[in-house]
Chains A and B, each alone.
Chain A
Amino acid sequence: MARTLQRSHPLQSYESAFAALPEGISVKAEPYLSMTDLRLPEDVDGPLGKALPREPGGWVSTADGLIVWLGPDEWLVLSGSRGPGELEADLRDLARPNQGSAVDVSAQRISLRVRGRHARDLLSGGCSIDLHPSVFQNGRSAQTTLGLTGVVLLALGADGDDFRILVRSSFAGYLAEWLVDAATEYR
């Protein structure tokens, strides 16, 4: 009989550890998102150019996901409804006339949502970015290190208690361990 590979999430086994986190900290592995790395010339204009966050460390939400600034000519486009191939094809059509490129990187990272009144203190323990809501609020992002792994950190909301972390799938287990361990002091 043929055996079919079951699709699984790298953080499936951490569900119970996340559920047992102290009050004031919530960590949830988010469902898979399609992600495409978009490269375009810095001076790209038109509807596509206007839709992109141009300020370093910015992100904007779109109809079905978000777009994160990764560099002066590079963006990460995430979609919750379009499949990886579809998203890549859509963006490739937009990128081609602008001498750009679009590459599917959906398998590269997974998304974690960290919330709660201790969320900022928790992340600050392993991250040198100033996460205070006066400078890092909804619409701001940072590519940096958290613990010993590289992450894309997104601020949601205006109160500094809601973050999304994009981390490489192969480092997700490490980061989950780090978060659970760092949370013990808030027990």
Chain B
Amino acid sequence: MQLIHCPWCGPREEVEFHYGGQAHIAYPEYPSALSDESWAHYVFFRDNTKGEFAERWSHSSGCRRWFNAVRDTRTYTFLKTYKIGEVAQ
């Protein structure tokens, strides 16, 4: 089974984690100023990258913290994981 490196707990089995979609999507600064279409884009539209993709993951069976990961969507390889607020090195 693939191991995912939790930034706090270290390497743990994949089944302990939960996927949380694309990372680094900024909340609109003035949501009320958005048109319905732009709001729908913010809420529902995500990239479908082939290759390196920044994602949110949660260590749901462990420390239950959210963190970010860069994963290669072609090979499922985790290239790096980093804490919320940090920048991928």
Structural contact, B62 and A144, CB atoms closer than 8 A: yes
Q: Is A128 an interface residue (CB 8 A)?
A: yes
- Tell me the residues in window 138-180 of chain A with beta carbons closer than 8 Å to chain B beta carbons: 142-145, 150
Measured CA separation A122–B62 after assembly (Å)? 21
Q: Is B88 an interface residue (CB 8 A)?
A: no
- The A interface, classified by DSSP as helix, strand, loop or mixed, is strand
In the complex, chain B residues whose CB is within 8 Å of the CB of A144? 12, 16, 61-62
In the complex, chain B residues whose CB is within 8 Å of the CB of A116? none
Structural contact, B15 and A145, CB atoms closer than 8 A: yes
The 7 lowest CB-CB distance pairs between A and B, nearest first, are A56-B8, A71-B63, A143-B62, A128-B13, A145-B61, A150-B61, A71-B65
Chain A to chain B contacts (Cβ below 8 Å), 30 pairs: A56-B8, A56-B9, A56-B10, A56-B63, A57-B9, A57-B10, A70-B63, A70-B64, A71-B8, A71-B63, A71-B64, A71-B65, A72-B8, A72-B63, A72-B65, A74-B63, A128-B1, A128-B13, A142-B9, A142-B62, A143-B61, A143-B62, A143-B63, A143-B64, A144-B16, A144-B61, A144-B62, A145-B15, A145-B61, A150-B61
